[in-house]
Amino acid sequence: MEKTTFAEVEKQLMAHLSAANLSKEHLSHVSGSISKTYAAGLRIVDWWIYGIPAFERIVVQGQLPIEAAGTFQELIANKMFKEIRIFRKGIPVPHFFQVDLTIEKITEQMPKI
């Protein structure tokens, strides 16, 4: 499966969420959280936005090489992620982690990332 670049995801994300009436601060936090995971080595494979046009949740699916497992600390520390699922994958032996991250709509004050 072809991996999506962060620039592509960010462009699509901003286009979709612009119709959801989110504040620029909220958009910035969501984009920043995804950007940090990409910079840490997570390669985005696919992503889904739930709630049309209102944004309820984003699920990002990515792959993280086994060698970059130290990145999990950064993912866990990011309060924007409401759910993190990590699966070891690979054939014939596991050589990467599939990571699913869930970002939900925030109704109160933004957490620090």
Average pLDDT per consecutive 10 residues, the chain (113 residues; last block may be shorter): 64 70 76 80 84 79 90 87 92 90 70 54
The boundaries of the domain holding residue 15 are 6-104
- Helices 6-17 & 24-39 angle (0-180, nearest 10): 160
Residue 65 lies in a domain: yes
The total number of structural domains in the chain stands at 1
Residues pairing with 46 in the sheet: 61
Instruction: Residue 9: name the closest of 89, 22, 39 by CA.
Output: 39
Residue 44 lies in a domain: yes
Vertex 12: Cα angle to 74 and 95 (nearest 5): 45
- Which CATH number belongs to the domain containing residue 52 in this structure? 3.30.70
State CA 20 to chain mean position distance. 18
Residue 96 lies in a domain: yes
Tell me the pLDDT tens digit for each residue of 81-102: 999 999 999 888 889 999 999 9
Global pTM value: 0.75
Residue 113 lies in a domain: no
Residue 112 lies in a domain: no
Residue 39 lies in a domain: yes
Residue 95 lies in a domain: yes
